[in-house]
């Protein structure tokens, strides 16, 4: 068993491995597999296969910088939604329309005017 473990470590050396983007792709693939139980569609099956191949390609890739850039792009895209979910009970999270800065304001304060900390644009928002 130890020999196999060492072989695996050696094989994965210099390869990218797993990240948040891969995990999200895997969840999408799993959802598609469940949908596939009810809807038989060759296009759906192909999509699942392509997704799984892409996930493996990313995991085993030696171009670590490119994979990190993809992951960064993904994280930048989902960050406002993660914050919205994280602070859903106490804050309202949105992006500045001018500079895309993520802004978080407390809930239940009525209609307020917020100044973007980055570009100083004034935004009126219901909280
Ligand atoms: Zn701004």
Domain ranges of the chain: 1-79, 87-127
Cα of 96 vs centre of ligand 1, distance in Å, is: 5
> How far is the CA of 108 from the CAs of 28, 85, 113, 122, in angstroms?
35, 17, 14, 19
Cα of 119 vs centre of ligand 1, distance in Å, is: 4
Cα of 115 vs centre of ligand 1, distance in Å, is: 8
**102-106 vs 91-95, strand pairing mode:** antiparallel
Q: Which residue has the tokens 């978080």?
A: 104
User: pLDDT, tens digit, for every residue of 55-75?
Assistant: 999 999 999 999 999 999 999
pLDDT of residue 78: 93
The C-alpha atoms of residue 89 and residue 41 are separated, in whole angstroms, by: 40
48 pLDDT more than 90: yes
Cα of 85 vs centre of ligand 1, distance in Å, is: 22
Cα of 21 vs centre of ligand 1, distance in Å, is: 27
The C-alpha atoms of residue 66 and residue 71 are separated, in whole angstroms, by: 9
| Mean pLDDT on 104-111 | 93
| Mean pLDDT on 105-110 | 93
């Amino acid at each position: 068993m130890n020999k196999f473990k060492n072989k695996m470590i050696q094989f994965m050396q210099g390869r990218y491995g797993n990240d948040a983007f891969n995990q999200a792709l895997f969840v999408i693939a799993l959802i598609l597999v469940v949908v596939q139980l009810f809807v038989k569609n060759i296009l759906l099956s192909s999509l699942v296969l392509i997704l799984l191949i892409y996930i493996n390609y990313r995991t085993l890739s030696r171009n670590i910088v490119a994979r990190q850039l993809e992951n960064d792009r993904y994280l930048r895209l989902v960050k406002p939604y993660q914050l919205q979910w994280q602070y859903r009970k106490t804050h309202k999270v949105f992006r500045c329309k001018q500079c895309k800065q993520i802004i978080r304001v407390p809930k239940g304060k009525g209609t307020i005017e917020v100044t973007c900390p980055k570009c100083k644009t004034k935004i009126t928002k219901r909280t």
